[in-house]
């Protein structure tokens, strides 16, 4: 796609989805976290991927899905700091 020539789609292929995702990511990182370290970037990206993929759900439904996906695993502060 070449936006400079006003080309935004070729058949079924378009840039709206990725531009929407990147916009949501930027707003979230600037508005929620303010600072992101490279070491944990994959975790931030995973969170926003989950939000994007479950955008049609209500906040409550999204929370239930997130908790259920933990599969009774316990995340301690030590695990978060060590990146385990």
**Whether pTM exceeds 0.85:** no
Distance CA(65)–CA(50), nearest Å, equals 10
Domain ranges of the chain: 3-82
Distance CA(22)–CA(14), nearest Å, equals 14
Higher pLDDT, 79 or 7: 7
pLDDT at 39 over 70: yes
Distance CA(71)–CA(66), nearest Å, equals 10
Q: Which two tokens stand for residue 20?
A: 């929407």
Tell me the sheet residues that pair with 10: 13
pLDDT at 84 over 70: no
Q: Which two tokens stand for residue 34?
A: 């303010």
Q: Which residues contact 11 (CB under 8 A, 6 or more apart)?
A: none
């Amino acid at each position: 796609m070449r936006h400079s020539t006003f080309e935004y789609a070729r058949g079924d292929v378009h840039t709206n989805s990725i531009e929407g995702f990147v916009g949501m990511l930027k707003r979230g990182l600037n508005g929620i976290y303010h600072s992101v370290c490279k070491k944990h970037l994959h975790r931030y990206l995973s969170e926003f991927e989950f939000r994007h993929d479950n955008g049609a759900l209500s906040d409550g439904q999204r929370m239930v899905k997130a908790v259920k996906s933990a599969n009774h695993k316990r995340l301690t502060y030590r695990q978060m700091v060590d990146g385990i």
